[in-house]
Homo-oligomer: A and B are copies of this chain.
């Protein structure tokens, strides 16, 4: 058992403990490369922060796996990020947020920011039907049930798991015939049902936005949560005095539990040519 964190008040119960150094990195993780859709918003809003990103590619997709499994992976990755000196954690994965965000908050005294489907803005905006596109683990989580309880009576909510979409993004297949076909197959019936607002309830899906837009046309709204997550992270870092004071640009480091060279190829495509991916076990 590690000693209590002297600065944060609450005792750390795991082997690592969060850094209280404002120059320390922010840890971000996802089942795979989907969380990069959140990372890009964080980078834009917080240019000086160092960002350490973990893709749990050996276990992607999380959706069909149970909440217990995903919770164990989240804790394992959080410990790795703590060992890397992280000061805060962004769970850039809807399924992992649903399964593990409460546990991650209890375990260590650090800012933990998660993602959830943007049902509130969707309910405010829609005059027809809202479709929540997500994996089964997110749709079947208590957190999502609570969201539904709050907003699901004021608007019609169609829920749809989108099998195969995560794999498309993991393989870097963001356009082309196969992507278009899969997206079309899932969304065409929803359009016939009068859906005017599509909530992307999985952080992989924003990378498919161009194809989704092509299929749903210019009139429908496509809501993702990356920007809101970046803003929430900034608020939390500011409130805790953890915002980086540096005026230099922060750097990114990428880690994966999968094959680094295969993952690196996709990360370079989604993030930029300079990205280098290391292995973590």
A192 cross-chain contacts in B, Cβ below 8 A: 194
Copy number in the complex reads 2
User: How far does the alpha carbon of A66 sit from the alpha carbon of B149 in the complex, in Å?
Assistant: 12
A143 cross-chain contacts in B, Cβ below 8 A: 140
Q: Give per-residue flags for A213-240: 1 if the beta carbon is below 8 A from chain B beta carbons, else 0.
A: 0000000000000000000000000000
* Residue from B148, B160, B189, B194 within 8 A of A136 (CB atoms): B148
A156 touches B190 (CB 8 A): yes
User: How far does the alpha carbon of A166 sit from the alpha carbon of B158 in the complex, in Å?
Assistant: 23
A161 touches B148 (CB 8 A): yes
Task: From known contacts A136-B146, A141-B140, A141-B142, infer whether A157 and B156 are also in contact, taking CB-CB under 8 Å.
Answer: no
- Please provide the 9 A-B residue pairs with the shortest distance between their CB atoms, ordered closest to farther: A140-B145, A136-B149, A136-B145, A140-B144, A140-B142, A158-B158, A152-B161, A139-B145, A136-B148
Query: Is A33 in the interface zone, CB < 8 Å from B?
Result: no
Q: Give chain A's interface residues, CB within 8 Å of chain B.
A: 63-64, 66-67, 129, 135-149, 152-153, 156-163, 186, 189-190, 192-194
User: How far does the alpha carbon of A66 sit from the alpha carbon of B161 in the complex, in Å?
Assistant: 24
A136-B152, A157-B160 known; 6 other A-B pairs, CB under 8 Å? A64-B149, A137-B142, A138-B145, A140-B149, A153-B186, A159-B159
A146 cross-chain contacts in B, Cβ below 8 A: 136, 140
A163 cross-chain contacts in B, Cβ below 8 A: 153
Task: From known contacts A142-B137, A193-B129, infer whether A159 and B152 are also in contact, taking CB-CB under 8 Å.
Answer: yes
Residue with the greatest number of chain B CB neighbours at <10 A, chosen from A152, A186, A194: A152
List 25 interface pairs A-B (beta carbons < 8 Å), by A numbering: A66-B142, A67-B142, A129-B158, A135-B149, A136-B145, A136-B149, A137-B142, A139-B145, A139-B152, A140-B142, A140-B143, A140-B144, A140-B146, A140-B148, A140-B149, A141-B145, A148-B159, A148-B161, A149-B161, A153-B161, A153-B163, A156-B158, A157-B160, A159-B159, A193-B193
